[in-house]
């Protein structure tokens, strides 16, 4: 995998624990997640989070991104409560850091799905609505995905 070759180059060129290394590790984890290798994805994403937490302030948007992707991996592994915890922490950081609407909305929507999986339907609906409200008309596909999810939740009640 070319991402692993790029990581090896960065690990040789940069000091151990560099946030730039976490960036490569996270990309590998996201690729593993997309390929359905949940165990490998979680290992990579946990490593990226550990590097960032050691090197950056806890309020860093990069830490929030690592929490988001690890949360999404946990959700995919049917660990809804763990996913909700990780994604909730990410949302808190993103709100405090005034992250851009698309990133905050995507993280809130992932949190809503995790909350639903954890049996917290009311909190899930509220969170999904917050995610939807943050999107402008420029993000129609993201908004449509949230609208469809909200409709499916209403039909399950």
How large is the average pLDDT for residues 131-152? 83
The DSSP code sequence of 5-62 is HHHHHHHHHS-TT-HHHHHHHHHHHHHHHHTT-HHHHHHHHHHHHHHHHHHS-TT-HH
CB atoms within 10 A of CB 139: 17
98-129 pLDDT tens trace: 888 889 999 999 999 999 999 999 999 999 99
pLDDT at site 6: 63
14-25 pLDDT tens trace: 677 788 888 889
What is the overall mean pLDDT for the chain?
89
How large is the average pLDDT for residues 59-71? 96
Output the pTM of the full model. Answer: 0.86
Q: 74 CB contacts (<8 Å, ≥6 apart)?
A: 42, 80, 82, 83, 86, 114
DSSP state letter for 93: H
Going by pLDDT thresholds of 50, 70 and 90, the confidence category of residue 157 is: low
How large is the average pLDDT for residues 36-63? 94
């Amino acid at each position: 995998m070319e991402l692993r070759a790029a990581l090896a180059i960065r690990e040789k060129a940069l000091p151990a624990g560099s946030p730039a290394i976490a960036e490569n590790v996270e990309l590998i984890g996201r690729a593993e997640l997309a390929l359905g290798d949940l165990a490998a994805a979680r290992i990579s994403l946990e490593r990226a989070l550990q590097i960032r937490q050691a090197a950056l302030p806890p309020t860093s948007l990069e830490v929030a991104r690592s929490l988001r992707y690890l949360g999404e991996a946990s959700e995919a592994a049917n660990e809804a409560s763990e996913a909700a915890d990780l994604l909730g922490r990410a949302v808190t950081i993103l709100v405090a850091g005034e992250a851009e609407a698309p990133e905050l909305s995507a993280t809130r929507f992932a949190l809503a799905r995790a909350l639903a999986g954890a049996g917290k339907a009311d909190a899930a609906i509220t969170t999904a609505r917050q995610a939807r409200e943050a999107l402008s008309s420029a993000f129609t596909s993201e908004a449509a995905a949230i609208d469809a999810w909200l409709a499916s939740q209403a039909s399950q009640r």
